[in-house]
Amino acid sequence: MQQNLIEVRGLTVKYLSSSSPSLAVRDVSFSLLKGQALALVGESGCGKTTLCRALTRLFPSRATVDIAGSVQFDSRDILACSDSELADLRQNAIRYVFQEPYAALNPVSTIGKQMLLACGKRETTKAEITQVLAEVGLERPEDVLSRYPHELSVGMAQRVLIAMALLPQPGLMIADEPTSAVDASLRKQLLKLLRSIQTKQRMTMILVTHDLAFARHFADEVAVMRDGVLIEKASVEEFFRTPQHPYSQLLLKALTDRVRRSNTHLTAHA
């Protein structure tokens, strides 16, 4: 019987402040097997990013956060890990791809130097690094290594971030709206790339997205959040066939209506 790679139980996250504490995630539980892909959907501000950051306690130093519950990753209790153990997990086992590539890259360091840092404990050659850059669709990867982030287009910078997340061969990749800063055409390319990588490497992946149409083709399971609560989690087939929660039904209706309007528009201009 296959074991869960990550198992979350009763995860609750509260942002503390002198004025009014904010409960961002409430009693969330879910699990993922090795090689599974989960699409985490829901409107902006519903707690998706907070949930993803809480999995490795990855919050800005200025934020005061109270986390309760349990996060087990590969039989390790993440919420009980020391700072050094957490740093090791983030560097080698659980990697993130965020939505703002220029903010995530060091502006005064070349891509090559940042790629080496991203390797973690794994011994990696320049040839392996250029190969990963090529695999994410970057042409002339040797030239990319000598460039600085501002010399890259937003699409190239996002591909670099994906490559950096892949280098240590992590067990779990968390991609938080990784295509929100690019146009529709490039968004489709990058999402197809992520799915291809996830399938090829049998990597467990959590994709935060607003795009239900892509979630349908990308994920094995869909989880819906609303107001900090995980209101539904089901296989892709079950979710798109018979969504259980009224909010999930509204999301699917909005998708269906949008597709219908698009088809009507194309027919009218044919």
Please give the structure tokens belonging to residue 54.
């809480």
- 270 has pLDDT over 80: no
Q: Average of pLDDT values for 7-21?
A: 89
Closest by CA to 52, choosing from 177, 167, 165, 227, is 177
Burial of 101 (0-12, 13-18, 19+ CB in 10 A): buried
Q: What's the pLDDT band for 18 if we cut at 50, 70, 90?
A: low
Which of the pair, 125 or 143, is modelled with greater confidence? 143
Which helix (H) or strand (E) covers residue 196, if one does? helix 184-201
Per-residue pLDDT tens over the stretch 59-116: 988 889 999 999 999 989 999 999 999 999 998 999 999 888 898 899 999 999 999 8
Q: Residue 211 carries which DSSP code?
A: -
Question: Rounded CA gap, 55 and 115, in Å?
Answer: 24
pLDDT for res 211 = 81
Q: What's the pLDDT band for 269 if we cut at 50, 70, 90?
A: very low
pLDDT for res 194 = 84
- Whether this prediction's pTM lies above 0.75 is answered by yes
Phi (first) and psi of residue 100, to 5 degrees: -115, 95
- 267 has pLDDT over 50: no
pLDDT for res 98 = 86
Three-state secondary-structure class, residue 170: coil
Number of Cβ atoms within 10 Å of the Cβ of 156: 20
pLDDT for res 67 = 96
Q: Please give the mean pLDDT across all residues of the chain.
A: 88
pLDDT for res 136 = 87
Q: What's the pLDDT band for 137 if we cut at 50, 70, 90?
A: confident
pLDDT for res 196 = 85
Which of the pair, 182 or 13, is modelled with greater confidence? 13
- 265 has pLDDT over 60: no
